[in-house]
Structure 1
Amino acid sequence: MRRILVEQIVKNLTTPSILSQKYGLLSKEEAEEDAKQIEYAAFVAATQHFRKEPERNGGSAAQVYARKSSELMVEFVKAGPKHKEDRETIPDLTILVDANGLSILLELLESRNLNHQRYSCVALCKLAEKASSLSPVDAGPPSPTSQVYLGKQYVNNPTFSDVTFLIEGKRFYAHRICLHASSDAFRAMFDGGYKEKDAKDIEIPNIRWDVFELMMRYIYTGSIDVNMENALDLLTAADQYLLEGLKRLCEYKIAQDILVDNVSLMYDLSEAFNAMSLKNACIIFILKNFDKLHAKSWYSRLIKRVLPEMRSYFVWTLTRLAEADKEEYTVKVNFFIN
């Protein structure tokens, strides 16, 4: 049926009519390309309508399919034959962004048509923008748990120290009460059945002194300077010791270095450490930089990997929007001509 409609649209666009006398007649090449775009836009509109039908008998969806294709065909005829760089867009296709509309946009990401992929990326970015600063790492996040800090004067201070860590052969003085309050990892270390529970000196392997000192400074003060030189090592330590606030600070800094050539590796990193802020930053970067990424040999594989997380991210986004003002949201998808 879809092929038949394309053929019929081509015929209508290339057949002399009252409109063509006024606006000009399209060539067969132009008409064939336009017909594919018209049919696909109509199909998307009909699919969304079908998914919202209570009984799903397809009758009203077929009417939407026919009506939308007719409306768009008239607009193309009015646009007339022009050079490709001067061609106008057909009217915006408005997609209601609920669960069904989101599914349509995500399906477009895997379309064989590059324009359809591009339009989906643009629409999803618009959706993120509607959530008012939903860029996942546009500000350093606060610690997710409230905590009272001892202060910087007690960092590596033997005063009242009741536990000592050995790092690279050097002693680091600490206070169990501070560590106990900081994370589940330290609570398990001191309350569980581990040898560290009653140990005075605890050896910490596989971590540099400077990284450990910064991690402890964060525990004691709630604030440290994270930069690109130490962010990855601190992320590793924060993940190991379950310090979510420090972990998110590291993700924020690392996300500022996402590039076209490293976004796939950055996404791998986010999965390795279950770093959700970094993962969401990768998703937004991929959508915003489609034109630079789609030619990469690994792009299609990356999209397949990212799609499940992308769906989760935008479901979360829709939930945020709904909780904000209970409104339905739409995005407009422009189907440009190649």
Structure 2
Amino acid sequence: MLDTRQLRYFVQIVESGSLSKASRQLLIAQPALSQQLAKLEDEVGKPLLHRSSKGVSPTENGLALYHHARFMLRQLDQALSIARSDTGAVQGMVSVGLPATTVATIGLNLVRKIRERYPSILLNVVEGMSGHIGHLMRLGQLDLAVLFSSDISSELTVEPLLIEELFVMIPKHSKLVPAGRTSITIEEASQIPLILPTGSHGLRQRIAAEFENRGLSTNVVAEIDSLSLLMNCVYDDIGATIKPMGAVMQEGARGRQWRCLPISDARFRRRNFLYSLAPEHLSTAAAVVAKELKETTEELIENREWEGFEDNSVLRTLASSSVMI
């Protein structure tokens, strides 16, 4: 029978990339760690690691074991935490992956709701690019994630969350677009300097495709994947950007004022989807957080304090139209 201690050791070895680093993290001697690894490989009956002068990396079998072991150990830790509780309150750690603009849009309200309503839930918010968040979700290292594609994995549960409109954004003091203008055409947008994410970013590909469909090119003067740095550069009037409203929702607290101009002849929309682990793997705490996340999103749409957020009913309208989303 597999020893959970050996699995924990193995997970740490894979994540450290070497036995010496793992032994320091685990606070055990390297020979003892090597012995436990050997026992695990004997139990499995196949080698789990490739060894070289540069360290170790998992074999194909080792990688499969790592993914399942990491998920199993996290579930075990949550189960033990619940069993040791003196109350019947919903509790446990829930990991949620959110892109930067989603964090800016609903992050604070979500954390506040969970803290007020479910103080025994430890909410772990992981911010990153959608590609990285999707990768972590596929590996089972997240319970929930908000992503912009509905085909990340057939093994996960996915449901539409909301639709965001994309705007051309400039600071209020900028002269890149004449004062008084409340919208901009796509051709006009192609003529102003733009600061956009790098080419591997889904939003950049979405923007580039729309311009190419119109036979237009973009005047990109900088490529930045950090949302905070990108918005700092835009506010410094180095160039405009094209982003959903979430990019400026926290900027008012910094005393910054923005102009967010819709593109009048090519409304850009981006669909958001909520991913979760399969029901049989989803903890009660994670299901609660998913419910609160959807409720927070619904409140954002219904409040209408901010432009550019639409509910899922728009998907059905757009499905039969030529509007690109």
User: Which has a greater percent of strand?
Assistant: 2
User: Which has a greater percent of helix?
Assistant: 1
Q: Structure 1 length as normaliser, TM-score?
A: 0.28
Q: Structure 2 length as normaliser, TM-score?
A: 0.29
Q: Which has the larger radius of gyration?
A: 1
